[in-house]
Amino acid sequence: MTDVIIIRKFKPRDFQKVLDIEYQAFNEHRPDLYMQFYELNADTFLVAEWQGEIVGFIAGIELNGIGKVFSIAVHRNYQKKNIGSILLNATMCTFKSKKINEVYLEVRESNYSAYGFYKKHGFVSIGVQPGYYSDGENAVVMKKILY
Ligand SMILES: CC(C)(COP(=O)(O)OP(=O)(O)OC[C@H]1O[C@@H](n2cnc3c(N)ncnc32)[C@H](O)[C@@H]1OP(=O)(O)O)[C@@H](O)C(=O)NCCC(=O)NCCS
């Protein structure tokens, strides 16, 4: 068994593992969307695998030439080990290879760690979407230009 982190495209058999991580990380759940990401954005829907276990995922989507990080999460036992950074960088590289140079995302105003994570990766805050989440919390909208 290898100790390296493997980043690879999501496969349907990863579905339950991705949902488990999603449920542990977020209050809002859209399991139906993940198979759509697989069908429509397979190149930017990635998982991180360590010792045969799925430990994180990123769902990047593309619409009309613009990229969006729909969701990223790392299992709580594996956070702060650079796995999120590797996933995010891999998706940014794929966007770039598709000539997508503008990427957006939304993050909860209270999610300071994710906000710090995105800032560290060159995203800048460009505004607030009031009441974006179903519990009424605002979203901070962030943007990154890929050069
Ligand atoms: C956000 C998330 C994906 C980051 O993944 P990760 O593998 O833990 O991130 P990395 O180890 O690559 O972290 C790199 C940087 O992110 C920031 N960061 C990550 N987790 C952090 C935390 N809990 N507190 C503060 N900063 C944090 C730091 O700047 C860190 O840099 P440092 O190690 O030099 O301090 C992960 O914390 C997660 O799954 N969070 C829950 C789900 C979530 O909020 N997703 C984003 C929704 S918009």
Which residues contact ligand 1 via a Cβ below 6 A?
25, 72-74, 79-85, 107, 111, 113-114, 116-117, 120
Q: How remote is the CA of residue 28 from the centroid of ligand 1, in Å? A: 19
Cα angle 141, 146, 147 (rounded to 5 degrees) comes to 145
Please give the domain boundaries of the chain with CATH numbers for all domains.
5-145 (3.40.630.30)
Instruction: Say what the pTM is.
Output: 0.95
Task: Tell the residue nearest (CA) to atom 7 of ligand 1.
Answer: 84
Query: Per residue in 20-40, pLDDT tens?
Result: 999 999 988 888 899 999 999
> Which pLDDT does position 27 carry in this prediction?
85
Task: Tell the residue nearest (CA) to atom 38 of ligand 1.
Answer: 73
Query: Per residue in 10-23, pLDDT tens?
Result: 999 999 999 999 99
Average pLDDT over all residues of the chain? 96
What are the tokens at 134?
Answer: 């179903």
Lowest-confidence segment of 2-11, 44-53, 115-124, 125-134 by average pLDDT: 2-11
Average pLDDT of the segment spanning 63-69: 96
